[in-house]
Chain A
Amino acid sequence: MTTTILAVDDSTSVLKMVESALRFKGYAVVAAADGVEALEALERDLFDLVVLDINMPRMDGLSLLKTVRERPEWASLPILMLTTEGQEADRDRALAMGATDYMVKPFKPTLLLERVAALLS
């Protein structure tokens, strides 16, 4: 079965880059521009992993993370947070709230692929 990944970022260029990289590796990708869209996608489809940005309009990454972890069916869904320099406090909160791993932007796309592969194994 194809591995399906939900990628969430409000930056269109970052989202597109993450999407292209994951598709290159043969993953199916659903893209969402904010937490609200991501939640809708989660309700609709089954995902193997979520790549999640923190700072987003409408519903940010931390709120989505909280919502996801409160739902038993998503309790063990791997979530890879994307953080940026200067967001160390948010990163620590994310890890405390149940994020599986994090990456600091900017990163090389192939490093993201390595991290994703490790989380899926």
Chain B
Amino acid sequence: MNEADDLDALLLAQMREDFLAESQEILDRLGPLLVQLEQEPDAGLLNTIFREVHTLKGTAGFAGFESVRLLAHKLEDVFGALRDEQLAVTPELMDTVFAGVQSLTSMREDVLRGGTGEMDIEPLVARLEAALRGEVLAPAPSPASQAEQGAIPPPASQAEPGAAPVPSAVESTLRVGLETLDTMMELVGELITARNALLTIAERLQDEPLTSTASAISRLTRELQTTVTGIRLVPVERLFNRFPGVVRNMARQRGKQVRLVIEGGDTPLDRAISEQMYDPLVHLLRNAVDHGLEPTVDRRRAGKPEESTIRLSAERRGDDVILRIADDGGGIDPERVRRVAVERGLYSAEEATALSDEQAIHLIFTSGFSTAATVTDVSGRGVGLDVVKQNVHRLRGSVSIETAIGQGTTFVIKLPLTLAILQVQLVRVGGYTYALPLHVVRETLQIAPDAIQTMQQGEVLFVRDVALPVRRLSDFGIRNSGFGTSPQSEIRNGIVVRRAGRDEVLVVDELVGKQQVVIKPLSPYLGTVRGVEGSAVLPDGSVTLILDVEGVLTN
């Protein structure tokens, strides 16, 4: 090899790396643009799409991915013909175009996994060429397989070093590995633990210079934490932009007219969380298209617009991000849910009747539950909403439902801005300190000795005239050690937690306070302990267990 060959090889290898990042950005933008095109074709839009595909073709050519280049080339020709009004936008043509974009995505993912990015695109190319010759396309051969492809899970984050936030000014940015960011986050975590300890010591010693230094360190740590957390944040738009194409395919399969409205795309979210939310959101969108939205005839009869709207929105609230998937469909009928729960043998008729409407509605998150009359291609794959709930729960988030019959259903997902640092409520039970993630705590209470009443279904506490079931944290054992025994004493404290659509009171001996802690996974040889999410070091250097309330109470 001579020097010129070396230089070419070097530059083109770099180019292949850059291709991965750039092609993802282009494909992310293409989905929403294509949906928009199908709704309202317009010359400016066609120009934009043409240019995006053209750029993809050029980049793939340099990087040496021949199938990507060829397919992008054919798509470019189609958009050129559409732009020059030699072709018209038809649903059949758009099916083929969407299938083409899906294939491009699959090929890119293959490259990402170390593959050649080559795929049999001959049938697609043939269809595009037929369209270019002015032939009327028959309906796509297998729309089901396209929707299937639309739901390809995103590649694992660690395998994707090239997709860092887009540098806007080349000179002032630097690409940093995700592992480095994770390490930085861990170090910030350690620093927070040390800072908390320092603050405790400073408070004890009451020494003026020490106190002011400690508070300065505290402030700087907070700033550093905000900055490092910020690096890991990406606009949620990057996730959302993958959905218009997916929803469009689902809607077309089900013969429904659906408009997907995306709001709050600039809301920041931890990169890892964002990636892991793809599957749950696809599932909820599919659920909305399939079950949430009524058939067109029913909508017409109800005097609603035939075109349904699904609104996908994100909003930052303090250290949380709230995602909403709202449909304007028929809503969830609690009566129907009760009936199905009885049919499935989940509850007896009496038990089902005793459930409040809100509790009944939350049954749709129960494993194996489905109110759909028939199993469908779109959502009848045996995966229920319980999986969505589990996925969100694993990310330390929560899902709730707001629904009104005839008006629609909204799934509200609350997620932490970032994963490593957690706000907890510290409690003492039987002489031990435990941490409860603050996101499960609705309120804290003082409980007078005689306030807890025993009723037929067990112990209850009246909170603002509502009887809430009482659970004593001391009754739940982790392994065989238990949580320790509480003295049968005087005033207790209670924490109201929300599970499956209803509030419960968790009785503890003492509320210690709120604290920001860094989650440490349990030592590998403890394995996973049901009810324990991890551990954390407290300011005094002691180690506490972070409880997974759901796990504890279902033990």
A and B, one complex?
yes
Q: Which residues of A contact B (CB under 8 A)?
A: 10-14, 16-17, 20-21, 24, 31, 55-57, 84-86, 105-106, 108-110
- The answer on a CB contact under 8 Å between A55 and B54 is yes
A10/B11 contact (C-beta < 8 A), A84-B58, A86-B73, A86-B76 known: no
Select A110's contact among B7, B15, B50, beta carbons within 8 Å: B7
Residues of chain A lying within 8 A (CB to CB) of residue B229 = none
- Residue tally, chain B, CB below 8 Å to A: 29
B143 contacts the other chain (Cβ, under 8 Å)? no
Assuming the A-B contacts A12-B18, A20-B14, A56-B51, are A105 and B8 also in contact, with contact meaning beta carbons closer than 8 angstroms in the complex? no
Asked whether A10 lies within 8 Å of B55 as measured between CB atoms, the reply is yes
**A17 neighbours in B (Cβ, 8 Å):** 11-12, 14-15, 18, 62
Contact A13 B21 (CB under 8 A): yes
Instruction: Specify which chain B residues have a CB less than 8 angstroms from the CB of A86 in the assembled complex.
Output: 73, 76-77
**B204 → chain A closest CB, angstroms:** 55
CB distance from B43 to the nearest CB of A (A): 15
Q: How far is the CB of A118 from chain B (nearest CB, A)?
A: 15
A-contact bits for B15-52, CB 8 A (1 contact / 0 none): 10011011000000000000000000000000010110
Binding site for A on B (CB under 8 A): 4-5, 7-8, 11-12, 14-15, 18-19, 21-22, 48, 50-51, 54-55, 57-59, 61-64, 73, 76-77, 166, 170
Minimum distance in angstroms from B74 CB to a CB of chain A:
10
Contact B8 A106 (CB under 8 A): no
Whether A13 lies near B62 (C-beta < 8 A) is yes
Contact A106 B61 (CB under 8 A): yes
Q: Which residue of B lies closest to A12 (CB)?
A: B22
- Asked if B18 and A16 sit within 8 Å, CB to CB, the answer is yes
Residues of B within 8 A of A108 (CB): 4, 8, 12
The answer to whether B51 touches A10, judged by C-beta atoms less than 8 angstroms apart, is: yes
In the bound assembly, the distance between CA atoms of A14 and B48 in angstroms comes to: 18
User: Main secondary structure on chain B at its contact with chain A?
Assistant: helix
The closest CB in chain B to the CB of A20 belongs to B11
Given A106-B62, A108-B8: A16 touches B54 (CB 8 Å cut-off)? no
CB atoms of A84 and B61 under 8 A apart: yes
Q: Can you list 27 pairs linking A and B with CB atoms under 8 Å apart? A: A10-B55, A11-B22, A12-B21, A12-B166, A13-B21, A13-B59, A13-B62, A14-B15, A14-B58, A14-B59, A14-B62, A16-B170, A17-B15, A17-B18, A24-B7, A24-B11, A56-B51, A57-B48, A86-B73, A106-B58, A106-B62, A108-B4, A108-B8, A108-B12, A109-B8, A110-B4, A110-B5
Q: Which residues of A contact B11 (CB under 8 A)?
A: 17, 20-21, 24, 109
Residue numbers in B under 8 Å from A21 (CB-CB):
7, 11
Interface of A is mostly: mixed
6 closest A-B pairs by beta carbon, nearest first, are A13-B18, A106-B61, A110-B4, A106-B62, A109-B11, A13-B22
B170 cross-chain contacts in A, Cβ below 8 A:
16, 31
Q: Which of B4, B22, B62 has the most CB of A within 10 A?
A: B62
Note all chain B residues with C-beta closer than 8 A to A105.
Answer: 58, 61-62
Apart from A20-B11, A20-B14, 15 more pairs, CB < 8 Å: A11-B55, A13-B59, A14-B15, A16-B15, A17-B18, A21-B7, A55-B50, A85-B61, A86-B76, A106-B61, A106-B62, A108-B4, A108-B12, A110-B7, A110-B8
Q: Is the CB of A11 within 8 A of B48?
A: no
In the complex, A85→B61 CA distance in Å? Answer: 10
Q: How far is the CA of A108 from the CA of B12 in the complex (A)?
A: 8
Residues of B within 8 A of A110 (CB): 4-5, 7-8
B319 to chain A, nearest CB (A): 33
Of all chain A residues, the one with the shortest Cβ separation from B17 is A13
Measured between beta carbons, the chain A residues less than 8 angstroms from B22 are 11-13
Contact A109 B51, beta carbon cutoff 8 Å = no
Contacts of A55 in B (CB 8 A): 50-51, 54-55
A17 to B63, CA, bound (A): 11
Q: A106–B61 Cα gap in the complex (Å)?
A: 5
Q: Are A13 and B8 in contact (CB under 8 A)?
A: no
A111 to chain B, nearest CB (A): 9
A13 to B108, CA, bound (A): 15
Cα–Cα distance between A84 and B73 once the two chains are bound (Å) = 10
Write out the residue numbers on chain A whose beta carbons fall within 8 Å of the beta carbon of B7: 21, 24, 109-110
Closest Cβ–Cβ distance, residue A26 to chain B (whole Å): 13
Give the residue name and chain of the B residue nearest to A83 (CB). Answer: B58
Shortest Cβ distance from B3 into A: residue: A110
- Residues of B within 8 Å of A13, CB to CB, are 15, 18-19, 21-22, 59, 62-63
